[in-house]
A and B are shown apart, each in its own frame.
Chain A
Amino acid sequence: MLEGYRGKALELLSSLGADIGDVLQVYNDKVNVKGILMPSYSRDDSVVVLKLDNGYNAGFSVNKVKVTLLGRGNKVVERKGHEVSRPGKVKIISTGGTIVSKVEYETGAVRPALSTEEIIRFVPEIEEITSISAEVLFSILSENMKPEFWVKIAEAVKRAFDEGSEGVVVAHGTDTMSYTAAALAFSLRLPGPVVLVGSQRSSDRPSSDSGINLVSSILLAKEAPFGEVVVNMHGESSDTYTLAHRGVKVRKMHTSRRDAFQSINDHPLAKVLWKEKTVKVLRDDYIKKSDGVEVNAKFDSRVFLLKFYPGLKPDIVEILLSAGYRGIIIEGTGLGHTSSDFQEAFRKAVKDGIFVGMTSQCLFGRVNMNVYQTGRMLQQSGVVPLEDMLPEVALVKLMWALGQTSDLNEVKRIMLTNMVGEYNPRHSLDHFPRWKHE
């Protein structure tokens, strides 16, 4: 298979009978080199990509060089890691992303390393902490996550505890990790910690944060005193410690930094010092471990997250209703507002049995719809203020609530109940970060 080749280069390589991994020679009057034929990721269909003896890749246009086939390459045989059957004290469930991966130096391909054996080879320190077992649940990109996968993860977590695991680590891509965390938090009653972990620097690079995040998460899953879903990622840009954030109060706040995940309107539950191998619990109001594991993972995804902006027209609400949506979470301005034009549309929606809840696009702070006239009018229309709940968490919670009941009053009751710490009734001064200005 001449992966990626097309046009002139494909024609020539096919006529030579060459395949990826074969040794080719390219030459003209100025240059004469040999190298291994690589899969093409070229922008030009006349270019043949070779890996030279010195390890570099370089592209040569068949319009300028002659190409001959020198020899057949060794086929790269992918080794499958075999599963260790004994159950570990901590279960690692992989859902995608590459918290652990290996590089195929020949082609540069990065493949996930997901067997127990491979994970231990990558992070040998794990063996000093506890025994682990690993399961590949599925392998999807974080951005392709869907509510039906949340259900599968919740069930896998239950299985793990039923099998006797003391804690569970869920390896997850970072983009939508906080949505999954919220979904699991609403769906599970837990006899131990469930730790979601990922990496902001992929594990195919020596500077990856995945090793430290993974080893800290395993430590946390084994030793944390709570029965909660948390996200455990780097606490700062340095490789010093990780922070365990409550799954319903955490948000990815940076596109690329290691410490992108932050607790919003909340403080982290625990700090993990990977070098010292200790877990420092930072709060005592965590959810205690339950006696057994219960799962209730039903989601109705006919819910919309509506971000209000100047100029947005109320007809969007009509469109959602006619498309069959059953709930709307508004990400309003400031204390929880939309333009007063929306009042009528929301009134109609609520009358039709649609749940409409209000959060703030400020993210920090609490909505308060009593301070201004518009807020009061929106409340009269039936819009429910959702305190300091994060918009995405409110969205997931509403999916879950609609999965439980179709009675609007019951949905409203669920939405206003502080189930797993998604509401923080007390905000202190230090719940808001300050940026350096001088």
Chain B
Amino acid sequence: MSEYEKMGLKVGLEIHQQINTSHKLFCECPTTLDEESQGKLERYLRPVVSELGQVDVAAFFEWEKGKKIVYEVPRKSSCLVECDEEPPHPMNLDAIKLGLAMTLAFNGEPVDEIFVMRKTVIDGSNTSGFQRTAIVGLGGYIKDAEGLVTIQTIAIEEDAARKLEDTPDSVKYNLDRLGIPLIEISTGPDIKTPEQAKRVALLIGQMLRLTGRVKRGLGTIRQDLNVSIAGGVKTEIKGVQELDMIPKIIENEANRQRELLKIRDELRTRITRDDFERKVKEKDLTGLFTSSRSRLIQSELKKGGKVLGLLAPGFKGILGRQVMPGRRFGTEVSDYVKALAGLGGIFHSDELPNYGIVEEEVQRVAKELGTGELDGFILVVGPEEKVRKALQVIRDRLSQAFEGVPKETRAANEDGTSKFMRPQPGSARMYPETDIPSILSRELLEDAKKIMPSTPEQKLKELMKMGLNEELAKQVLNSPRLDQFEYLTRKYTNVSPTIVATTLENTLKYVKSQGGNIDKITDEDIETVIASVNQGKITKDSIPQILLEYSTPNSNTKIEAVISKYSGISEEELINLIREVVAQNREEVKSKGDKAFSLLMGKVMERVRGRVEGKKVAELIRKVMKDETG
């Protein structure tokens, strides 16, 4: 049993993958990103009140921030539907069919009648204030080396608007991404180790690519993780973009929950929750800091701000306890303050003196608050209203520490840690989208069967049948460019699949290793090159040089211009060139006879490399020599 199995680790995955449909899920806009803005919109969202006067906690949390939401409205990739100025059009059935195809591929059960729901999201990422989403399939499983992992649901939903910037007062999005269809595949909490989670994510990603109907590139696939350990709580971690980071994020979260449970146990030996709540108190300590050397405190005081202190009974040494690499319990508290009170940060007793706050000040704070042997304190600086709010948030978070792990939605950081994002949404979150008629899945099942992904084993066989050797076939199978390979080989039949595969899997790596900027090479560029080979305009040998030359940093040439430099030459031109070379080397040819061939070959190839194949050159040289020598 591994360390994580002993901890009772349970992980569920939610994979969100953009689908490459010709238009968006609820309108006729293309599913491409677009920077050209035709103007801005300014909006505000407010939570909807439920029958019982309840408001979803997560929604209320966003609304309380009172942020202005600004949308850049792209010319090509948005219409009135994205602007929330026109009702949604009927759902894009190609997206539903893919959802059904994946359901069948996992051996699950399609939902007989599909209903679109509204999932409340009021951070502005959806202009309507909700995300439209529909479950199309339930059940099924995938096989992993460490056992079966069940599939819980397969949903088709709309992607959110693309966030451009976030300030304390406003948040800005581009509408281009809003409405691109996503397939969401959720597994059961059956994953037992961090490595297994990565493997399962890889396998699901590969199955999606095998349909040839999903988008590729940064931001087109996102993983959310649901992580818990025994005694802990299911924590949602959003926005994992790198598959390789999955194990680390899970490890860090499992350890965080374990540390929080240890903190709980330790706190309980010191003080009860009731006693904590009775003894915790706040006090205005502004007077102690009027001549403080802390720059933050000075600048806030100048603006009329306050310094408030909170006595944290029982928390000495705990505020500084590490719960994740580089993150202490105090950091967790500080994240709550940032997210819920909009304040930059806090100072706690386990990190002081520091940050310009000196020992003498620490002593005076402790005295003012009446800090006992096992007590800690927290200082908050800023405008009084926000500071008061922050202290309430801190009290709540400290009090939760007596229970263990709070229910949170966290955001993944790039280093494999995560931070508090918002409370988890409650059940008052979903209600039916009445603008969209329901869909009977049986009317789509025949089409869905036709686009089911083949199994990786089947696909490998197919690839090898096309002439790829096993190594190359495996590379293509695991590659995000699988769909591009299929597209190009289907369209350009004069080019051998091996050349297409080599170009996609090896040539691009080579170009990168030679200092080329492969971000510059678009799918269209690659297609132009392959098309040129297909037409016989250039030879396959010239592909690496063309791509390298094209992608040289600071080069502004068009791919067509580079290709024309390497375009083949006619047989007549080649013969003339060979005759010229023979004439220049007449002495050698005369003296060496047939043995001069390799010399001539070298000289001719120097001038035509990449434009004509060596075999052809050799053939013509022999012919010319034969004519010459008679």
Please determine whether chains A and B interact with each other in the same assembly: yes
Q: What is the interface of chain A, defined by CB distance below 8 A to chain B?
A: 28, 30-33, 41-44, 46-47, 49, 52, 54-61, 64, 76, 78-79, 102-106, 108, 110-111, 113, 118, 121-122, 201, 203-208, 211-212, 237-240, 255-258
Asked whether B50 lies within 8 Å of A103 as measured between CB atoms, the reply is yes
Asked whether B41 lies within 8 Å of A54 as measured between CB atoms, the reply is no
- Does B394 lie at the interface of the complex (its beta carbon under 8 Å from any beta carbon of A)? no
Contact with A along B132-170 (1 / 0, CB 8 A): 011100111000000000000101000000000000000
Interface centre among A28, A61, A203 (most CB of B within 10 A): A61
Asked whether B432 lies within 8 Å of A59 as measured between CB atoms, the reply is no
| SS of A interface (majority) | loop
Asked whether A256 lies within 8 Å of B85 as measured between CB atoms, the reply is yes
Asked whether B133 lies within 8 Å of A56 as measured between CB atoms, the reply is yes
Please list 22 pairs of residues, one from A and one from B, whose beta carbons are closer than 8 Å in the complex, sorted by A's number: A31-B138, A41-B432, A42-B438, A47-B112, A54-B153, A56-B115, A56-B117, A56-B155, A56-B430, A58-B135, A59-B113, A60-B112, A105-B427, A105-B428, A105-B431, A205-B118, A206-B45, A206-B47, A206-B59, A207-B128, A211-B46, A240-B42
Contact with A along B112-129 (1 / 0, CB 8 A): 111101111010000111
The 10 closest A-B pairs by CB, nearest first: A206-B129, A59-B113, A55-B430, A108-B432, A31-B109, A238-B42, A104-B51, A61-B112, A30-B109, A31-B139
- Does B130 lie at the interface of the complex (its beta carbon under 8 Å from any beta carbon of A)? yes
Asked whether B108 lies within 8 Å of A30 as measured between CB atoms, the reply is yes
Asked whether B41 lies within 8 Å of A237 as measured between CB atoms, the reply is yes
B123 to chain A minimum Cβ distance, whole angstroms, is 10
* A179 to B573 Cα, complex, angstroms: 82
Asked whether A64 lies within 8 Å of B51 as measured between CB atoms, the reply is no
Asked whether B85 lies within 8 Å of A49 as measured between CB atoms, the reply is no
Given A58-B114, A105-B431, A238-B42, 5 extra CB contacts under 8 A = A55-B427, A103-B50, A108-B431, A113-B49, A206-B122
For B54, the closest partner residue in chain A by CB is A105
A7 to chain B minimum Cβ distance, whole angstroms, is 14
Asked whether B438 lies within 8 Å of A43 as measured between CB atoms, the reply is yes
For A63, the closest partner residue in chain B by CB is B112
Query: Which residue from A28, A212, A257 sits with its C-beta under 8 Å from B109?
Result: A28
Query: Which residue from B109, B117, B128, B440 sits with its C-beta under 8 Å from A57?
Result: B117
Q: Contacts A55-B430, A76-B51, A104-B51 known; A205 to B128 CB distance under 8 Å?
A: yes
Asked whether A56 lies within 8 Å of B134 as measured between CB atoms, the reply is yes
Asked whether B109 lies within 8 Å of A206 as measured between CB atoms, the reply is no
Asked whether B128 lies within 8 Å of A55 as measured between CB atoms, the reply is no
Asked whether B128 lies within 8 Å of A206 as measured between CB atoms, the reply is yes
Which chain B positions have C-beta within 8 A of A61? 112-113
For A59, the closest partner residue in chain B by CB is B113
Query: Which residue from B50, B111, B117, B120 sits with its C-beta under 8 Å from A206?
Result: B120
Which chain A positions have C-beta within 8 A of B120? 206
Q: What is the interface of chain B, defined by CB distance below 8 A to chain A?
A: 40-54, 59, 80, 83-87, 107-109, 111-115, 117-120, 122, 127-130, 133-135, 138-140, 153, 155, 427-432, 434, 437-438, 440
Asked whether B139 lies within 8 Å of A52 as measured between CB atoms, the reply is no
Q: Contacts A240-B42, A257-B80 known; A206 to B438 CB distance under 8 Å?
A: no
* A180 to B129 Cα, complex, angstroms: 31
* A280 to B138 Cα, complex, angstroms: 56
Asked whether A239 lies within 8 Å of B109 as measured between CB atoms, the reply is no
Query: Which residue from A30, A49, A111, A206 sits with its C-beta under 8 Å from B107?
Result: A30
Query: Which residue from A44, A105, A205 sits with its C-beta under 8 Å from B50?
Result: A105
Interface centre among A33, A46, A105 (most CB of B within 10 A): A105
Which chain A positions have C-beta within 8 A of B112? 44, 46-47, 59-61, 64
Which chain B positions have C-beta within 8 A of A237? 41, 83, 85
B544 to chain A minimum Cβ distance, whole angstroms, is 45
A43 to chain B minimum Cβ distance, whole angstroms, is 6
Which chain B positions have C-beta within 8 A of A106? 51
Asked whether B134 lies within 8 Å of A206 as measured between CB atoms, the reply is no
Which chain A positions have C-beta within 8 A of B111? 58-60
Asked whether B108 lies within 8 Å of A206 as measured between CB atoms, the reply is no
* A76 to B50 Cα, complex, angstroms: 12
* A64 to B80 Cα, complex, angstroms: 40
Which chain B positions have C-beta within 8 A of A208? 46
Asked whether B430 lies within 8 Å of A102 as measured between CB atoms, the reply is no
Query: Which residue from B59, B127, B138 sits with its C-beta under 8 Å from A207?
Result: B127
A54 to chain B minimum Cβ distance, whole angstroms, is 7
B38 to chain A minimum Cβ distance, whole angstroms, is 9
For A240, the closest partner residue in chain B by CB is B42
Q: Contacts A31-B138, A64-B112 known; A121 to B50 CB distance under 8 Å?
A: no
A326 to chain B minimum Cβ distance, whole angstroms, is 39
Which chain B positions have C-beta within 8 A of A56? 115, 117, 133-135, 153, 155, 430
* A110 to B40 Cα, complex, angstroms: 31
For B71, the closest partner residue in chain A by CB is A238
For A28, the closest partner residue in chain B by CB is B109
Which chain B positions have C-beta within 8 A of A113? 49
Asked whether A257 lies within 8 Å of B85 as measured between CB atoms, the reply is yes
Interface centre among B49, B113, B117 (most CB of A within 10 A): B113
A204 to chain B minimum Cβ distance, whole angstroms, is 6
* A44 to B117 Cα, complex, angstroms: 19
Asked whether B84 lies within 8 Å of A207 as measured between CB atoms, the reply is yes
Which chain B positions have C-beta within 8 A of A47? 112-113
* A32 to B430 Cα, complex, angstroms: 21
* A227 to B87 Cα, complex, angstroms: 36
Asked whether A103 lies within 8 Å of B46 as measured between CB atoms, the reply is no
For B40, the closest partner residue in chain A by CB is A238
Asked whether A59 lies within 8 Å of B108 as measured between CB atoms, the reply is no
B48 to chain A minimum Cβ distance, whole angstroms, is 5
Asked whether B427 lies within 8 Å of A239 as measured between CB atoms, the reply is no
Asked whether B114 lies within 8 Å of A206 as measured between CB atoms, the reply is no
Asked whether A102 lies within 8 Å of B50 as measured between CB atoms, the reply is yes
Which chain B positions have C-beta within 8 A of A204? 48, 431
Asked whether A58 lies within 8 Å of B113 as measured between CB atoms, the reply is yes
Asked whether A103 lies within 8 Å of B431 as measured between CB atoms, the reply is yes
Which chain A positions have C-beta within 8 A of B85? 237, 256-258
For B432, the closest partner residue in chain A by CB is A108
* A207 to B42 Cα, complex, angstroms: 11
Query: Which residue from A44, A52, A108, A258 sits with its C-beta under 8 Å from B113?
Result: A44
Query: Which residue from B49, B109, B129, B139 sits with its C-beta under 8 Å from A102?
Result: B49
* A407 to B20 Cα, complex, angstroms: 69
A304 to chain B minimum Cβ distance, whole angstroms, is 32
A203 to chain B minimum Cβ distance, whole angstroms, is 8
Which chain B positions have C-beta within 8 A of A52? 135
* A183 to B113 Cα, complex, angstroms: 46
Asked whether B51 lies within 8 Å of A59 as measured between CB atoms, the reply is no
Which chain B positions have C-beta within 8 A of A64? 112
Asked whether B138 lies within 8 Å of A58 as measured between CB atoms, the reply is yes
* A238 to B115 Cα, complex, angstroms: 30
Asked whether A31 lies within 8 Å of B47 as measured between CB atoms, the reply is no
Which chain A positions have C-beta within 8 A of B83? 237
Which chain B positions have C-beta within 8 A of A41? 432, 438
* A44 to B440 Cα, complex, angstroms: 8
For A122, the closest partner residue in chain B by CB is B49
Asked whether A256 lies within 8 Å of B80 as measured between CB atoms, the reply is yes
B238 to chain A minimum Cβ distance, whole angstroms, is 16
A16 to chain B minimum Cβ distance, whole angstroms, is 18
Q: Contacts A30-B107, A57-B115, A239-B43 known; A121 to B440 CB distance under 8 Å?
A: no
A199 to chain B minimum Cβ distance, whole angstroms, is 12
Which chain B positions have C-beta within 8 A of A58? 111, 113-115, 135, 138
Which chain B positions have C-beta within 8 A of A121? 49, 53
* A237 to B427 Cα, complex, angstroms: 31
Query: Which residue from B43, B109, B129, B428 sits with its C-beta under 8 Å from A238?
Result: B43
* A42 to B80 Cα, complex, angstroms: 29
A383 to chain B minimum Cβ distance, whole angstroms, is 39
Asked whether A43 lies within 8 Å of B437 as measured between CB atoms, the reply is yes
Which chain A positions have C-beta within 8 A of B45? 206-207
Q: Contacts A42-B113, A56-B134, A238-B43 known; A103 to B87 CB distance under 8 Å?
A: no
Which chain B positions have C-beta within 8 A of A60? 111-113
B242 to chain A minimum Cβ distance, whole angstroms, is 27
